[in-house]
Protein backbone atom coordinates (compact mmCIF):
# COMPACT_ATOMS: atom_id res chain seq x y z
CA UNK A 1 0.00 0.00 0.00
CA UNK A 2 1.32 3.43 -0.96
CA UNK A 3 1.31 5.82 2.00
CA UNK A 4 -1.10 8.70 1.74
CA UNK A 5 0.60 11.99 1.07
CA UNK A 6 0.32 14.46 3.93
CA UNK A 7 0.28 18.08 2.80
CA UNK A 8 -0.74 19.48 6.18
CA UNK A 9 1.63 21.58 8.21
CA UNK A 10 2.39 20.89 11.84
CA UNK A 11 3.27 23.63 14.26
CA UNK A 12 5.66 21.90 16.62
CA UNK A 13 7.91 24.16 18.70
CA UNK A 14 11.65 23.93 18.21
CA UNK A 15 12.09 24.55 21.92
CA UNK A 16 9.46 23.80 24.53
CA UNK A 17 8.94 23.29 28.26
CA UNK A 18 6.82 20.21 29.01
CA UNK A 19 5.17 18.87 32.15
CA UNK A 20 5.70 15.14 31.56
CA UNK A 21 9.10 13.49 31.15
CA UNK A 22 8.31 10.35 33.11
CA UNK A 23 10.05 8.14 30.52
CA UNK A 24 13.31 10.13 30.58
CA UNK A 25 16.38 7.90 30.92
CA UNK A 26 17.99 9.98 33.68
CA UNK A 27 14.88 10.63 35.77
CA UNK A 28 15.50 7.76 38.18
CA UNK A 29 19.27 7.56 37.71
CA UNK A 30 20.20 11.22 37.88
CA UNK A 31 19.69 12.88 41.30
CA UNK A 32 18.06 16.29 41.34
CA UNK A 33 20.98 18.74 41.64
CA UNK A 34 20.96 21.57 44.11
CA UNK A 35 19.81 24.64 42.22
CA UNK A 36 22.65 26.97 43.15
CA UNK A 37 23.09 30.32 41.46
CA UNK A 38 25.87 29.04 39.18
CA UNK A 39 23.77 26.07 38.03
CA UNK A 40 20.68 28.21 37.45
CA UNK A 41 22.65 30.80 35.48
CA UNK A 42 24.16 28.07 33.31
CA UNK A 43 20.74 26.56 32.56
CA UNK A 44 19.20 29.95 31.82
CA UNK A 45 22.03 30.70 29.39
CA UNK A 46 21.64 27.32 27.67
CA UNK A 47 17.89 27.80 27.26
CA UNK A 48 18.38 31.24 25.66
CA UNK A 49 20.94 29.89 23.20
CA UNK A 50 18.71 26.97 22.23
CA UNK A 51 15.62 29.16 21.84
CA UNK A 52 17.42 31.56 19.52
CA UNK A 53 19.63 29.22 17.50
CA UNK A 54 18.10 25.77 17.03
CA UNK A 55 18.01 24.86 13.33
CA UNK A 56 14.76 23.57 11.85
CA UNK A 57 16.14 20.03 11.94
CA UNK A 58 16.54 19.86 15.74
CA UNK A 59 13.85 19.95 18.44
CA UNK A 60 14.41 20.24 22.19
CA UNK A 61 12.08 19.81 25.15
CA UNK A 62 12.97 20.57 28.76
CA UNK A 63 11.23 19.38 31.90
CA UNK A 64 9.03 21.84 33.74
CA UNK A 65 9.78 20.24 37.11
CA UNK A 66 13.37 19.07 36.46
CA UNK A 67 15.27 21.82 34.67
CA UNK A 68 18.33 19.54 34.56
CA UNK A 69 16.57 17.14 32.15
CA UNK A 70 16.18 17.68 28.40
CA UNK A 71 15.23 15.57 25.40
CA UNK A 72 16.32 16.30 21.84
CA UNK A 73 15.17 15.07 18.44
CA UNK A 74 17.72 15.36 15.63
CA UNK A 75 16.79 14.93 11.98
CA UNK A 76 19.27 13.09 9.76
CA UNK A 77 20.47 15.31 6.93
CA UNK A 78 20.51 14.69 3.19
CA UNK A 79 23.60 13.00 1.77
CA UNK A 80 23.94 10.58 4.70
CA UNK A 81 22.54 7.11 5.49
CA UNK A 82 20.44 8.89 8.12
CA UNK A 83 18.43 11.18 5.85
CA UNK A 84 14.75 11.69 6.74
CA UNK A 85 15.10 9.78 10.04
CA UNK A 86 14.66 11.06 13.60
CA UNK A 87 17.12 10.33 16.41
CA UNK A 88 16.31 10.96 20.07
CA UNK A 89 18.63 11.77 22.94
CA UNK A 90 17.99 12.18 26.66
CA UNK A 91 20.25 14.73 28.34
CA UNK A 92 20.97 15.16 32.04
CA UNK A 93 22.93 18.07 33.48
CA UNK A 94 25.18 17.04 36.41
CA UNK A 95 25.26 19.11 39.63
CA UNK A 96 28.64 20.62 38.71
CA UNK A 97 27.47 21.72 35.24
CA UNK A 98 29.00 23.41 33.25
CA UNK A 99 32.30 22.38 34.85
CA UNK A 100 31.35 18.81 33.94
CA UNK A 101 29.92 17.89 30.51
CA UNK A 102 26.27 16.86 30.19
CA UNK A 103 25.27 13.21 30.42
CA UNK A 104 23.64 11.95 27.25
CA UNK A 105 21.76 8.78 26.37
CA UNK A 106 20.76 7.74 22.85
CA UNK A 107 17.34 6.09 22.48
CA UNK A 108 18.59 3.18 20.34
CA UNK A 109 15.62 0.76 20.51
CA UNK A 110 18.27 -1.98 20.45
CA UNK A 111 19.95 -1.00 17.16
CA UNK A 112 23.42 0.40 16.51
CA UNK A 113 23.11 2.90 13.68
CA UNK A 114 26.60 4.33 14.10
CA UNK A 115 29.94 3.38 15.73
CA UNK A 116 29.51 6.34 18.09
CA UNK A 117 25.94 5.46 19.11
CA UNK A 118 25.84 2.19 21.02
CA UNK A 119 22.96 -0.21 21.53
CA UNK A 120 23.08 0.50 25.26
CA UNK A 121 22.55 4.20 24.57
CA UNK A 122 26.15 5.31 25.09
CA UNK A 123 27.27 8.25 22.95
CA UNK A 124 30.99 8.30 22.14
CA UNK A 125 32.20 11.79 21.34
CA UNK A 126 35.25 13.81 22.34
CA UNK A 127 33.00 16.62 23.51
CA UNK A 128 31.68 14.39 26.32
CA UNK A 129 35.16 13.09 27.18
CA UNK A 130 33.93 9.62 26.14
CA UNK A 131 36.08 9.41 23.01
CA UNK A 132 39.70 10.18 22.22
CA UNK A 133 40.36 13.60 20.79
CA UNK A 134 42.49 16.72 21.05
CA UNK A 135 42.08 19.14 23.93
CA UNK A 136 40.29 21.61 21.65
CA UNK A 137 37.65 18.96 20.87
CA UNK A 138 36.84 18.26 24.52
CA UNK A 139 34.25 19.91 26.73
CA UNK A 140 35.23 23.43 27.76
CA UNK A 141 33.15 24.91 30.62
CA UNK A 142 33.78 28.41 29.31
CA UNK A 143 32.75 27.93 25.69
CA UNK A 144 30.94 24.61 25.17
CA UNK A 145 27.13 24.59 24.97
CA UNK A 146 24.26 22.14 24.56
CA UNK A 147 23.67 23.57 21.09
CA UNK A 148 27.25 22.62 20.19
CA UNK A 149 26.56 19.12 21.51
CA UNK A 150 23.49 18.66 19.31
CA UNK A 151 25.11 20.12 16.19
CA UNK A 152 28.18 17.93 16.74
CA UNK A 153 26.03 14.80 16.87
CA UNK A 154 24.19 15.82 13.72
CA UNK A 155 27.28 16.74 11.69
CA UNK A 156 30.16 14.70 13.15
CA UNK A 157 28.37 11.50 14.20
CA UNK A 158 25.43 11.19 11.79
CA UNK A 159 27.65 11.95 8.81
CA UNK A 160 27.90 10.70 5.22
CA UNK A 161 30.63 8.10 5.90
CA UNK A 162 30.02 6.56 9.34
CA UNK A 163 32.48 3.73 8.61
CA UNK A 164 35.34 6.11 9.35
CA UNK A 165 33.89 7.07 12.73
CA UNK A 166 35.28 3.86 14.18
CA UNK A 167 38.85 4.36 15.46
CA UNK A 168 39.84 0.80 14.48
CA UNK A 169 38.86 1.14 10.82
CA UNK A 170 42.32 1.88 9.48
CA UNK A 171 41.66 0.59 5.95
CA UNK A 172 40.67 3.48 3.68
CA UNK A 173 38.29 1.41 1.58
CA UNK A 174 35.40 2.90 -0.39
CA UNK A 175 33.88 -0.56 -0.78
CA UNK A 176 33.90 -1.19 2.97
CA UNK A 177 32.59 2.31 3.63
CA UNK A 178 29.71 1.92 1.15
CA UNK A 179 28.82 -1.48 2.59
CA UNK A 180 28.81 -0.08 6.12
CA UNK A 181 26.58 2.81 5.02
CA UNK A 182 24.07 0.25 3.74
CA UNK A 183 24.16 -1.46 7.12
CA UNK A 184 23.64 1.86 8.94
CA UNK A 185 20.68 2.70 6.70
CA UNK A 186 19.04 -0.66 7.45
CA UNK A 187 19.64 -0.19 11.18
CA UNK A 188 18.12 3.28 10.92
CA UNK A 189 15.03 1.88 9.18
CA UNK A 190 14.57 -0.68 11.94
CA UNK A 191 15.01 2.02 14.57
CA UNK A 192 12.37 4.11 12.80
CA UNK A 193 9.84 1.27 12.93
CA UNK A 194 10.36 0.91 16.68
CA UNK A 195 10.27 4.68 17.16
CA UNK A 196 6.89 4.94 15.44
CA UNK A 197 5.53 2.12 17.58
CA UNK A 198 7.05 3.47 20.81
CA UNK A 199 7.32 7.26 20.54
CA UNK A 200 8.94 9.22 23.38
CA UNK A 201 6.50 11.15 25.53
CA UNK A 202 5.32 14.50 24.13
CA UNK A 203 7.00 13.88 20.75
CA UNK A 204 4.19 11.77 19.28
CA UNK A 205 2.78 14.62 17.10
CA UNK A 206 6.19 15.38 15.60
CA UNK A 207 6.96 11.73 14.88
CA UNK A 208 3.56 11.05 13.31
CA UNK A 209 3.64 14.14 11.11
CA UNK A 210 7.29 13.75 10.11
CA UNK A 211 7.00 10.17 8.88
CA UNK A 212 3.67 10.72 7.16
CA UNK A 213 5.29 13.57 5.29
CA UNK A 214 8.52 11.69 4.51
CA UNK A 215 7.07 8.21 3.92
CA UNK A 216 7.12 8.35 0.12
CA UNK A 217 10.69 9.69 0.06
CA UNK A 218 11.89 7.00 2.47
CA UNK A 219 10.21 4.17 0.53
CA UNK A 220 11.54 5.52 -2.77
CA UNK A 221 15.04 5.62 -1.27
CA UNK A 222 14.71 2.01 -0.06
CA UNK A 223 13.73 0.92 -3.56
CA UNK A 224 16.56 2.88 -5.21
CA UNK A 225 19.17 1.52 -2.81
CA UNK A 226 17.90 -2.07 -3.06
CA UNK A 227 18.10 -1.96 -6.86
CA UNK A 228 21.50 -0.29 -6.92
CA UNK A 229 20.32 2.80 -8.78
CA UNK A 230 22.02 5.16 -6.36
CA UNK A 231 24.46 4.94 -3.46
CA UNK A 232 23.00 4.89 0.04
CA UNK A 233 22.45 8.41 1.32
CA UNK A 234 22.12 10.14 -2.02
CA UNK A 235 18.54 9.50 -3.09
CA UNK A 236 16.96 12.89 -3.78
CA UNK A 237 20.08 14.70 -2.59
CA UNK A 238 20.82 17.94 -4.44
CA UNK A 239 24.27 18.27 -2.93
CA UNK A 240 23.43 21.52 -1.16
CA UNK A 241 25.53 22.30 1.89
CA UNK A 242 23.77 22.77 5.22
CA UNK A 243 23.14 26.42 6.18
CA UNK A 244 25.62 28.22 8.38
CA UNK A 245 24.58 30.69 11.06
CA UNK A 246 25.99 32.71 13.91
CA UNK A 247 25.08 31.82 17.49
CA UNK A 248 23.12 34.53 19.30
CA UNK A 249 23.64 34.50 23.06
Q: How many CB atoms neighbour CB 200 within 10 A?
A: 21
Contact 214, 84 (CB under 8 A): yes
Q: How many CB atoms neighbour CB 2 within 10 A?
A: 7
Q: Return phi, psi of residue 35, to 5°.
A: -85, 70
* Catalytic-labelled residue, pool 38, 124, 189, 237: 124
Q: Return phi, psi of residue 45, to 5°.
A: -65, -45
Query: Is 124 considered catalytic here?
Result: yes
Sign of torsion, CA 174 175 176 180? positive
User: Who's near 200: CB < 8 A, 6+ residues apart?
Assistant: 23, 71, 88, 107
If 0-12 CB within 10 Å is exposed, 13-18 middle and 19+ buried, where does residue 33 land? middle
Contact 122, 128 (CB under 8 A): no
Q: From 61, 147, 74, select the one nearest 114 (Cα to Cα).
A: 74
Contact 187, 113 (CB under 8 A): yes
Positions marked active-site = 124
Amino acid sequence: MTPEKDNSELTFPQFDVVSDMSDHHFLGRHPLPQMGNCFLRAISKEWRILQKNLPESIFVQVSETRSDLLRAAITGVAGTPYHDALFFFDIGLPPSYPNEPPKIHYLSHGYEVNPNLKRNGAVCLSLFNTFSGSRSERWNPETSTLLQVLLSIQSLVLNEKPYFNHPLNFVNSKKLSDSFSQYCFLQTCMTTVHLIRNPPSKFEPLITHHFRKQANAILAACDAYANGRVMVGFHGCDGAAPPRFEIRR
